[in-house]
Structure 1
Amino acid sequence: MVVLNKIYTRTGDGGDTALGNGTRVAKHALRVTAYGTVDETNSVVGLARLHASGDMDDQLAMIQNDLFDLGADLCRPEMAKDQEAGYPVLRMSDGQVDRLEREIDAMNGNLTPLKSFVLPGGSALAAHLHQCRTVSRRAERLVVELATMEEVNQAAVKYLNRLSDWFFVASRMANDNGKADVLWVPGANR
């Protein structure tokens, strides 16, 4: 259980921070930037939820919880030492990826295939979901870059890849099942 009774600690005043395993690193370290961008994704999901209801809101709530799991996973390097930790280390799982895939398939089943790219917009919820999509794509790029230098849980990479797809399909659902999508017209303003 997490207990947060003092919010500031002054330990980061010199420009470093602690990872989940206690190692201190620069606040601009790629791992910190990656899980910080996952946190940013969670924040924009919170904004999207202001416009969501029913199943969409429930699914976004699960995604927010998953994003906290993902941040916990990324802030704890050295996966090989998980067994030595003495307590379970939280890692993303393929089950979380599978759930996103099932939800994408269910939502996509209600949509007509696209014949053009979609511009971000339409309803307020769709616009926010597009912002979620782009921020999660940035988080994915950072995590993939981190994985070229350090060990990263592959389920975390897969989750972020599916998540941006989830946001795209959900944005179409939020636009009256795609009927209110704003379509790109190539060269329209020449």
Structure 2
Amino acid sequence: MVVLSKIYTRTGDGGDTALGDGSRRVKHDLRVTAYGTVDELNSTLGLARLYVEDDDFDEALSRIQNDLFDLGADLCRPDMERDAEADYPPLRMADAQVERLETEIDAMNEALEPLRSFILPGGTPLAAHLHLCRTVARRAERLSVELAGVEDVNAAAVKYLNRLSDWFFVAARVANDDGRDDVLWVPGANR
């Protein structure tokens, strides 16, 4: 259990921060940037939830927010080969979390007409916020893939981010009255 009795520690005043294994990195380190972007995504999702009216949909977003905290915990702990030596089992993303997103995407997508044009981010306030979540998820994915090029990263974490941006895209269409209020791109409309 986490107990936070004091929020500031002053340990990062010199420009570095502790990772999940206790090692320290500069705050602009790629690993810190990757899990920091996941935290940004979680906050962005919190804003989107202000516009949700359906309890089941809000439960799905709540599950994703919890998953994103798991994902941040996964990314903040380097050197997966040393997981067995840890004092407690490190929290790692699992393929089952990716599979749940896929199942939910398929279920949401059943009610939607196939796209015949690209869509612009917008429509209802909820859809617009979900599109913002989608783009932040893509940035977090790009950073995680970049990190995986130089350090160990749990493959399920990267897959989760990839699937999650798809989830947000489909969910934004659902929030736009099952796609009926999608804002369609008109190529060259303003030439």
TM superposition score normalised by structure 1:
0.99
Q: Partners of 1:25 and 1:88 in 2: how far apart?
A: 22
The residue aligned with 2:96 is: 95
Match of 1:34 in 2: 34
Q: How does 1:50-61 map to 2 (within 5 A)?
A: 50-52=50-52, 53-61=54-62
Report matched runs for 1:1-190 at 5 Å.
1-52=1-52, 53-190=54-191
Please report how far the alpha carbon of residue 157 of structure 1 lies from its aligned counterpart in structure 2 after TM superposition: 0.3
Offset, 1:86: 3.3
Deviations 1:129-176 (A, max 9, x none): 000000010000000000000000000000000000000000000000
What 5-or-longer segments of structure 2 have no aligned partner?
Answer: none
Offset of 1:118 from its aligned partner?
0.6
For residue 111 of structure 2, what is the amino acid of its counterpart?
A: N
The offset of 1:54, in angstroms, is 1.6
- The one-letter amino acid paired with 1:150 is E
User: Percentage identity across aligned positions?
Assistant: 75
Give the secondary structure class of the aligned counterpart of 2:51.
Answer: coil
What do residues 30-50 of structure 1 show as CA deviations (whole Å, max 9, x unaligned)? Answer: 000000000000000000000
Corresponding pairs, count: 190
For 2:85, give the aligned amino acid: E
The runs of 5 or more residues in structure 1 that have no matched partner are none
Q: Which runs of 4+ in 1 moved over 2 A?
A: none
